Chains A and B, each alone.
Chain A
Amino acid sequence: MLTQIIWWAGIALESLLLVRGVRGGLVRRFPLFYTYVFFVLAESLVMFAVYRWARNDFARAYWIGEYGTLTLGSFLLLDVYRVVLRQYPGTARVARNLLCFVFALAFAKVLVNRSYGALWWSAQTPEELERNLRIVQSFAVLAIIIVMIVYAIPRGRDLKGILAGYSLLVGSSLVHLSLASHPGLWVIRTWSYVEPVCYVIVLCIWTVALWRPAEAISRESSLPPPEMPGHAALVRQTQEALDNLRNGLLKEVRR
């Protein structure tokens, strides 16, 4: 019964999110995000039909849908990257390099596993494979978030909502998938309910955050023009200021 409620609540919220997105014009602003939501909604409805009329194929259909949403969810980060960092070329470059570093690390891990004779993508169970992909995804999310926090990138309610919701989604899924490989743990039974509830919370966060588009539009127009001196000059100035502070401090300490 609880599962049914969560399922239908999810479908209702996804529909509401899409309707609000279309009416408020946010679909144009975050096309990949809304594609993701649309895909999840379609998947939920298809899965419901499969569960009802072709239960034998449910497991296979579930994993196909799951990997589809996982892939589209990764593209969601591109929306954040495109919308937020477009106006900050310096931060965009840092984020790009950080993401490349994360993916290079993941690729290196694959190569190392291969050299030991194990294939990363042929994990023992689909849960393990999804968990591995989620770990890479979570590092990418964290990289974007860290860059945004360090560079104090202005973010409206819409972006904060998308990132908060997505972080919760990835985090709860990661915990669930990791616990699944430890069947003896008592928390598994509880967490199998917590994760769907988390998903409904995620949808609530997204619906509230993306209810109105006004804030995002006014914020964009208030940004300063990107006219700046060279980065080398800026670094020199900052290092001079830091050296002054540091030398003064160390003079006290060393005296």
Chain B
Amino acid sequence: MFNYLEYVREKNLPHIWCSGCGDGIVLKALIRAIKKLGISKDEAVMVSGIGCASRTAGYIDINTLHTTHGRAIAFATGVKLAKPNLHVIVVTGDGDATAIGGNHYIHAARRNIDLTVLLYNNFIYGMTGGQVSPTTPRGKMASTAPFGNLEPSFNIAGLAQAAGASFVALGDVYHVQQLDKLIAAALQKKGFSVVEILTPCPTAYGRRNKQATPVDMMNWLKDNVILKDKLDKMTEDEKADKIASGVLWDVEKPEFTAEYDKLIARLKAEKQAKE
């Protein structure tokens, strides 16, 4: 039996997430990945923003930094650049990372700084009561889209890829074994890594959008999140509304903090050569 309590701050339980929320499933997947990779709790740092996803930081027993809305990646950049030996994990949501924090998201990807970003996408602002987010699909209902969302949504995995990330994956809380593997791969990747994780919000999203129960939402994930390789073989009709999962992008490129350390070494060598 896997002992989650080794990694959980038990005194802070029960957690604040609603019944049917998927955020706890992500936390457990992350813990399994950390354990599997043997990452030291003392050298792991979680930096989070504001929102339901970001409250993960309160429950995991590593160094945790709960910051301001949208800014987790900026704070995490400071932690990582100051002490590159630390393993820095950013936990954020769709509104946090791609609306108010969108600038930090794309620039950290461009910089290719070694952060692992777990981006929980529940298609809504959950904590504030169900307002429309940059990932709410067009036509869906939200408290601030009572006539249906008029705006197109972001492809947030594609955004990270286009901006320069070295690893981009998409998983969901129904296909949990796959999620474990994706998080582990992202943690191991040296460079800016994003795992977009689809997770249900029955309270703020489902009940407004004909997915009234957590089971309905899980079934939706089961039926619509399809492995990229499998999806590629499907006809255009079959592909409609389906979402590609798995590793979507994985390339090797120079990582920012390593490049900075090389600069320090170069300047030191030049100075010694002069003396």
A, B bound: no
Interface of A toward B, CB cutoff 8 Å: none
Interface of B toward A, CB cutoff 8 Å: none
